[in-house]
Amino acid sequence: LRSGLLSVLEKVKNSVILDTKEVDSIIRELQRVLLKADVDVRLVFELSEKIKKKFFSREIPPGFSKRDVLIKILYDELVSLLGGENATPYTLGRMPYKIMLVGIEGSGKTTTAAKLAKYLKENGYSVGLIAADTYRPGAYEQLQQLATKIGVSFYGDPQCKDPVRIVEEGVKVLEGRGVQVFIIDTAGRHKDEVSLMQEVSEIYEKLKPDDVILVVDATQGKGVAKQAIAFKEKVPLGHVVVTKLDGSAKGGGALSAVASTGAKVAFIGTGEKLDDFEAFDPYKFVARLLGMPDLEGLLRKFQALEEHEKERARLAAAGKITLLDLKEQLLEIKKLGPLSKVLEMLGGPPIAVKGSLEGGEKEIDKWIAVLNSMTEEELLKPEIIDRSRMTRIARGSGTTVRDVKRLLESYTQMKKIMRQIYRSRRRIQGF
């Protein structure tokens, strides 16, 4: 997925005008990459449509290029494909806290139980592991060894064939040893799905765990969605762990498949060792996949833009007009065509003002040029425009510092008038 996405980004960077044709070609490359990573066809199609729609309907904000906007949209949509919108860090509720692991055989439950135990131990919890897999030969020893290695409490009974009893006993025994967080490893036979599901239900009913974590294997790609749905029918799934993301070409398919079922991926397994385990953060994950050194800067820039937009909405709600509003107003006026034409349509301007109208026209162009040379921040907070910024703006717009000053003065004037109007309106509304 990683090398594939790099080729998509390469295409974005090499694009020239980003018209429909170029964007289509980029999207086709993206589709190829995602399908190869085993992402479901329907999800790929939805994502493509969303990206196109967003890109062609979004205005390019000042200070950004079309390319910036496309990369941001790609990033957002990939994050959302991996469940970004409802991702939250994994936290435990009130102690004692019981976590039950479920999943089919070989998905990595036992390994994950140990990894999670280590992770939680390192976060200061007193953790205990319970071996409730009574089917797999050596399951008891496997977990016991791992528990010893990590240094957490362990309970199991190789003689007992009843997982429900083991769990009951285990909780009692470990509670006596001061365990707060119980991690229960269960069986996951492949062949007899009906009795596996029955066993999972029974343990669930008896234990009433605080969290049920489904463990799935990334090498199964989009196939893991079926597992998530099947387990969800039997027990309320709290979280999912996707294992074997290391070296699996189908990781993208597995992660997006889980997200599409509405389940949350809490952790990912990235190797056989106990430390090859990390909290899943779709934002970081996608940023790493895209591997752009400048991505972080770009995302920060977009965040600043969002904050500005919020600030602007706040100012607007308070009846304050900004230079950004002024700029938009002027652009609207320009869209109507030459001022004299506009007035002609309205019945024609008096001959006497024709000359000054042309002057007004030029004035508007000049103002727009000045406003175009300001940053978004300056447009929203003109008070930060000092002498050196004025010089820069004047140079950028082919005007003079005097012109910039004049515009700022007019704006201050306008603001005063607006404030008065706003106040009197409020006063009227107040009565």
Q: How far is the CB of 161 from ligand GDP (least distance, A)?
A: 18
Indicate which single residue of 62, 271, 349, 396 sits in contact with ligand GDP (rule: CB under 6 A).
271
Does 111 help bind Mg ion (rule: CB under 5 A)? no
Is residue 161 marked as binding? no
Q: Which does 153 bind (CB under 5 to 8 A by kind): ligand GDP, Mg ion, none?
A: none
Does 110 help bind ligand GDP (rule: CB under 6 A)? yes
Per 3-state DSSP, what percentage of the chain is helix, strand, and coil (rounded to 5)? 65, 10, 30
Q: To which H or E segment does residue 153 belong?
A: strand 153-155
- Looking at beta carbons only, is 270 or 373 nearer to ligand GDP? 270
Rounded CA separation 118/185 (Å): 14
Indicate which single residue of 251, 269, 282, 382 sits in contact with ligand GDP (rule: CB under 6 A).
269
Is residue 103 marked as binding? yes
Rounded CA separation 393/381 (Å): 15
Does 105 help bind ligand GDP (rule: CB under 6 A)? yes
Q: In this structure, are residues 322 and 383 in contact, taking their beta carbons and an 8 Å threshold?
A: no
Sign of CA dihedral 205, 207, 213, 216: negative
Size of interface with ligand GDP, in residues (CB under 6 A): 17
Q: How far is the CB of 136 from Mg ion (least distance, A)?
A: 6
Indicate which single residue of 244, 250, 308, 327 sits in contact with ligand GDP (rule: CB under 6 A).
244
Three-class SS of residue 422?
helix
Determine the distance from the C-alpha atom of residue 378 to the mean position of all C-alpha atoms in its chain, rounded to a whole number: 29
Determine the distance from the C-alpha atom of residue 289 to the mean position of all C-alpha atoms in its chain, rounded to a whole number: 13
Among the listed ranges 39-47, 66-74, 223-231, 241-249, the one in contact with ligand GDP (CB under 6 A) is: 241-249
Does 272 help bind ligand GDP (rule: CB under 6 A)? yes
Is residue 322 marked as binding? no
Distances (CA, A) of 100 to 4, 72, 112, 119: 36, 38, 11, 16
- For 251, which DSSP code? H
Does 109 help bind ligand GDP (rule: CB under 6 A)? yes
Strands (E), 233-300: 239-243, 265-269, 277-279
Q: How far is the CB of 40 from Mg ion (least distance, A)?
A: 28
Rounded CA separation 78/252 (Å): 10
- Looking at beta carbons only, is 190 or 425 nearer to ligand GDP? 190
Is residue 105 marked as binding? yes
Indicate which single residue of 111, 153, 227, 256 sits in contact with ligand GDP (rule: CB under 6 A).
111
Strands (E), 208-321: 211-217, 239-243, 265-269, 277-279
Does 103 help bind ligand GDP (rule: CB under 6 A)? yes
Among the listed ranges 265-273, 307-315, 318-326, 370-378, the one in contact with ligand GDP (CB under 6 A) is: 265-273
Rounded CA separation 290/284 (Å): 10
Among the listed ranges 15-23, 39-47, 101-109, 223-231, the one in contact with ligand GDP (CB under 6 A) is: 101-109
C-beta neighbour count of 176 within 10 angstroms = 9
Distances (CA, A) of 60 to 184, 305, 311: 52, 11, 19
Indicate which single residue of 110, 227, 248, 270 sits in contact with Mg ion (rule: CB under 5 A).
110
Does 246 help bind ligand GDP (rule: CB under 6 A)? yes
Does 186 help bind ligand GDP (rule: CB under 6 A)? no
Is residue 391 marked as binding? no
- Which residues contact Mg ion (rule: CB under 5 A)? 109-110
Known binding-site positions for GTP: 103-110, 185-189, 243-246
> Which residues make up the interface to ligand GDP (CB under 6 A)?
103, 105-111, 188, 243-244, 246, 269-272, 276
